[in-house]
Copies of this chain bind each other. A is one copy, B any other.
Amino acid sequence: MNRRVATPKAALPRKKPVEAGDSPANVAQSDSLMLWIVLARSFNAVSKLLERDVAKSGLTGMEFGILEVLYHKGPLLLGEIQRKVLVTSGGITYLVDRLVEKGLVKREECENDRRARYAVLTPSGTALIKRIFPAHAKLIEQALAGLNISEQRQITPLLRQLGLAAEALVPTSKS
């Protein structure tokens, strides 16, 4: 948002009937536009809810994300985290610095590559994420409850497909 986004700004639109003058290409385009609008608004609504939740623990969404990924995957190199949470190299340094200041994470050397550093949860970081993650997961469930489970299972693989295709178009991030 994260990076900030060319979010579609209109209220959730109802589908308009295809008009006589619309070429097939324009029709396809308007389908895509519509999908993008509802995708972006869904994301924004859910992420706003979740952000408010993690803020109660004094964390930003990104900080939470880093704690979460370290909790679920174990120690990771900064660069590995960077790719997972999609921040810039400057961003990951800054974020880990802050987590270190808060005593939630520490840096450790990498034996094979002396340029690299691991980020590792401290005991208090582990305790924090362990304490707040379950409620967070419950909140996600509530936030997505507009769809029942079978509807959720229906769109998940399609969204995964969409995401993978879109990621393939993003030029590999350098900075």
Contact = CB atoms under 8 A, between A and B. Distances in A.
Interface of A: 1-12, 15, 28-29, 31-36, 38-54, 60-62, 64-66, 68-69, 72-73, 81, 84-86, 136-138, 140-147, 149, 151-156, 158-167, 169-171
Contact of A149 (B4, B28, B167): B28
A155 B158 contact: yes
Given A34-B156, A40-B43, A140-B32, A53 B6 contact: yes
A154 B145 CA distance: 18
A29 B6 CA distance: 30
Contacts of A52: 171
A134 B8 CA distance: 14
B170 A146 contact: no
Given A29-B138, A36-B140, A159-B35, A3 B44 contact: yes
